Chain A
Amino acid sequence: MKSIASLTGISLRYGQTHALKALTLEIPAQCMVGLIGPDGVGKSSLMALIAGARKLQQGALQVLGGDMASTEHRRLTCPRIAYMPQGLGKNLYPTLTVRENLEFFGRLFGQDQQERERRIQDLTRSTGLEAFTERPAGKLSGGMKQKLGLCCALIHDPDLLILDEPTTGVDPLSRNQFWELIARIRTQRPTMSVLVATAYMDEAQNFDWLIAMDAGAVLAEGPPQRLLEKTASATLEEAFIQLLPQEKRQDHHELHIPPRTPSSDIAIEAHGLTKRFGNFTAVDHVDFRIERGEIFGFLGSNGCGKSTTMKMLTGLLPFDEGDALLFGQPVDPNNLATRRRVGYMSQAFSLYSELTVRQNLDLHARLFQLPESRYAIRREQLFSRFQLHEVADQLPERLPLGIRQRLSLAVAVLHEPEILILDEPTSGVDPIARDHFWQLLIEMSRQQGVTIFISTHFMNEALRCDRISLMHAGQVLDSDTPQALMAKRSFQTLEETFIAYLEEVNDTPQPASGNEPPPTPVAVEQGHGAGAPPRFSLRRLFSYARREGMELRRDPIRATLALAGTLVLMFIIGYGITMDVEELSFAVLDRDQTTTSQHYTLNLTGSRYFSEQPPLQSYDDMEQRLQRGAISLAVEIPPNFGRDLKRGHSPEVGFWIDGAMPSRANTIQGYVQGIHTTYLQQLAQEAGVNSTSLAPIDIALRYRYNPDVQSLPAMVPAVIPLLLMMIPAMLTALGVVREKELGSITNFYVTPVTRLEFLAGKQLPYVAMGMFNFLLLVLLSIFIFGVPIKGNLLLLALGALLYVLCATGLGLLISSIFSSQIAAIFGTAIVTLVPAVQFSGMLHPISSLEGASWLIGHLYPTGHFLIISRGIFSKALGFSDLWPYFAALFVTIPIVVALSLAGLKKQER
Chain B
Amino acid sequence: MRALVNILHLGLKELRTLIRDPAMMVLIVYAFSLSIYSSSTRIPETPHRATIAIVDEDRSPASQRIVDAFQEPYFLPPTLTDAAQMDRGMDRGRFTFTLNIPPDFQHDLIRGTQTTLQLNVDATQVSQAFTGAGAIQQIINEEVSRFMGNDDASSQLPVQAIVRAVFNPNLTESWFGAVNEIINQITMLSIILTGAAVIREREHGTIEHLLVMPVTPFEIMAAKVWSMGLVVLLAATLSLYGIVEGWLQVPLHGSITLFLFGAALHLFATTSMGIFLGTIARSMPQLGLLIILILIPLQILSGGMTPRESMPDFVQNIMLLAPTTHFVELGQHILFRGAGLWVVWPQLLALMTIGGVFFLFALSRLRKSMS
Contacts and interface: CB of A to CB of B under 8 A. Distances in A.
Interface of A: 311, 314-318, 333, 336-337, 339-340, 342, 344, 346-355, 359, 363-364, 366-369, 395, 557-558, 561, 565, 568-569, 572-573, 575-585, 600, 626-629, 645, 648, 650-667, 669-670, 672-674, 676, 679-680, 683, 692-693, 695-707, 709, 711, 713-715, 717-718, 730, 734, 738, 820-826, 829, 838, 841, 843-845, 847-850, 867, 870-871, 874-875, 877, 881-882
A576 B306 contact: yes
B53 to A, nearest CB: 12
A575 B312 contact: yes
B159 A695 contact: no
Interface residues of B, number: 118
Contacts of B17: 352, 354-355
A696 B112 contact: yes
A654 B164 contact: yes
A581 B300 contact: no
Contacts of A627: 333, 337-339, 343
A658 B167 contact: yes
Given A629-B329, A652-B160, A576 B173 contact: no
B9 A657 contact: no
Given A627-B337, A844-B127, A704 B122 contact: yes
Given A629-B333, A665-B165, A680-B159, A822 B288 contact: yes
Given A655-B163, A881-B92, A581 B310 contact: yes
Contact of B162 (A648, A654, A704): A654
Contacts of A318: 371
B90 A704 contact: yes
B289 A367 contact: no
A421 to B, nearest CB: 8
B212 A314 contact: yes
Interface stretch (B140-148, B267-275, B348-356): B140-148
B360 interface: no
A651 B204 contact: no
Contacts of B369: none
Given A652-B160, A659-B168, A666-B131, 8 more contacts: A350-B208, A565-B289, A569-B293, A628-B337, A696-B148, A701-B121, A704-B90, A847-B76
A655 B161 contact: yes
A695 B44 CA distance: 30
A685 to B, nearest CB: 12
Interface in B84-136: 88, 90-93, 96, 109, 112-131, 133-134
B209 A705 contact: no
B160 A651 contact: yes
Contacts of B48: 844, 848
Nearest to B343: A628
B317 interface: no
Given A315-B212, A662-B44, A673-B163, A697 B128 contact: no
Contacts of B34: none
A359 B14 CA distance: 12
A368 B2 CA distance: 10
Contact of A705 (B124, B133, B160, B173): B124
Nearest to A873: B124
A670 B136 CA distance: 12
Interface string B30-46: 00000000000011111
A742 B10 CA distance: 31
Contact of A871 (B93, B140, B286): B93
Nearest to B215: A367
Contact of B171 (A665, A698, A701, A825): A665
A202 to B, nearest CB: 29
5 contacts: A652-B160, A655-B162, A704-B90, A844-B43, A871-B92
B21 interface: yes
Contact of A683 (B92, B115, B158, B287): B158
A849 B43 contact: yes
A575 B137 contact: no
B285 A821 contact: yes
Interface in B208-247: 208-216
A714 B123 CA distance: 7
Given A367-B6, A577-B306, A705-B122, A339 B212 contact: yes
Contacts of A714: 123-126
A308 B169 CA distance: 67
B61 interface: no
A822 B285 contact: yes
A660 B164 contact: no
Nearest to A821: B285
B321 to A, nearest CB: 15
A886 to B, nearest CB: 12
A203 B301 CA distance: 63
A557 B289 contact: yes
Contacts of A355: 13, 16-17
